């Protein structure tokens, strides 16, 4: 598994656990444990921390975007895996350096992580939501 794919998996596992326990456990401890257990010696541990920090710093904005892009799915009804795959994908799509993670890579990585860890329709759901957001971003760029 490529380093960044592994990093995203660790972030997903960590956000899943944190979200599952209603965000009451220490996310830093969860990430540290998962890094040590699932990715000892990973080449880019700072990438994991950058993703976690970015998702948390923009959590309210990201959650609002999910709610607007998938209005028929209230946030709390979206599967925990899918919700957190979306959070990672949206963070990378909207806030990460596009030279480091191009928008289409952010979308594809979120789809792949959802396919690997989510249910049979997770990839399609993530693709639909992120595709909608990406299309809106592109449309807003052409209007400027």
Tokens of 19: 């979200």
Predicted local confidence at residue 30, as pLDDT: 98
Contact assessment for residue 104 and residue 112, using Cβ atoms and an 8 Å cutoff: no
pTM of the model: 0.96
Question: What sign results for the dihedral spanned by CA atoms 93, 58, 36, 112?
Answer: negative
pLDDT (tens digit per residue) in 18-27: 999 999 999 9
Q: Enumerate residue ranges in the chain where pLDDT < 50.
A: none
Q: What is the pLDDT of residue 144?
A: 75
Residue 1 pLDDT: 58
Q: State how far the Cα of 49 lies from the Cα of 141, in Å rounded to an integer.
A: 30
Rounded Cα distance, 85 and 9, in Å: 9
């Amino acid at each position: 598994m490529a380093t960044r794919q592994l990093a995203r998996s660790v972030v997903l596992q960590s956000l899943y656990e944190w979200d599952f326990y209603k965000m009451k456990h220490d996310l830093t401890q969860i990430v540290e444990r998962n890094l040590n257990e699932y990715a000892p010696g990973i080449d880019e541990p700072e990438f994991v921390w950058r993703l976690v920090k970015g998702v948390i710093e923009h959590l309210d904005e990201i959650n609002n975007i999910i709610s607007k892009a998938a209005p028929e799915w209230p946030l709390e009804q979206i599967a925990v895996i899918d919700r957190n795959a979306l959070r990672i994908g949206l963070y990378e799509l909207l806030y990460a350096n596009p030279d480091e993670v191009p928008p289409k890579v952010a979308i594809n990585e979120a789809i792949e992580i959802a396919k690997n860890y989510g249910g049979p329709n997770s990839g399609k759901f993530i693709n639909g939501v992120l595709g909608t957001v990406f299309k809106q971003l592109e449309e807003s760029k052409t209007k400027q």
